[in-house]
Amino acid sequence: MTPRLERWIRDRYGHDADAAVERLSALSVPFQQEPEERILAAIALLGEGDRGRFEEAVRLSQIDWRDVLVAAGLADGGSFARLDELLGPA
């Protein structure tokens, strides 16, 4: 969990922010020792501040985290620039 992603979640998830940050901080995904920021950001983006949507995105990441990146528009070469645009500079 990066500080900028945590800040973004806290701005958008309201009273569910602590639970979302905690869930993402402890998340593991297949074939990665520690999920990269863009996977966690994709989950948060897909959640749209809604706990149910967020948990669905977490479930999807457990099946194939690449699907989460595609669904959130963070799968291509411009994903890192988009993250900077959404979350602020690293």
* pLDDT for residue 38: 94
Return the number of other C-beta atoms located less than 10 Å from residue 3's C-beta.
Answer: 10
* pLDDT for residue 30: 84
Tens of pLDDT along 7-41?
A: 999 999 999 999 999 999 999 988 877 789 999 99
Please choose, from the candidates 85, 5, 83, 3, the residue with its C-alpha nearest in 3D space to the C-alpha of residue 44: 5
> Is the Cβ–Cβ distance between 9 and 88 less than 8 Å?
no
Please choose, from the candidates 23, 21, 26, the residue with its C-alpha nearest in 3D space to the C-alpha of residue 9: 21
* pLDDT for residue 89: 86
pTM comes to 0.93
Three-state SS string across 17-48, please? Answer: HHHHHHHHHCCCECCECCCCHHHHHHHHHHHC
How much of the chain, in percent, has pLDDT values that exceed 70? 100
